[in-house]
Amino acid sequence: MANNILTSFAENPALMGAVRDVLLKHLSIDGLSQDVSDELLGQAVRARLVGTRAVEDAFREIESYKVIPNIGKNENPGY
């Protein structure tokens, strides 16, 4: 069942893009306060970089659920 949902999600590029954008917006460094120590600021930046990488990895995994049509050698996909 989960695979069917992920397949539907993966085959909707507009939805994938919108969800990815919302998640990455929340991991942006734009809202970081500069009023903290360098150590805390560095930790926050690292956490957001790791989070961004995890989101991108998750979306690559979800894209693997796309169904790739099997087009034969003599078939024209334009029909």
How does pLDDT run across 34-46, given as a tens digit for each residue?
A: 888 999 999 999 9
69 is a domain residue = no
Whole-model pTM: value is: 0.76
Give the per-residue pLDDT at 72: 67
**pLDDT, tens digit, 9 for 90 and up, residues 44-57:** 999 999 999 999 99
Mean pLDDT of the residues in the chain = 88
d(CA 13, CA 61): 14
Give the per-residue pLDDT at 32: 82
Range of the domain at 18: 2-63
**pLDDT, tens digit, 9 for 90 and up, residues 52-77:** 999 999 999 999 999 887 766 676 66
50 is a domain residue = yes
78 is a domain residue = no
Please state the domain count of the chain.
Answer: 1
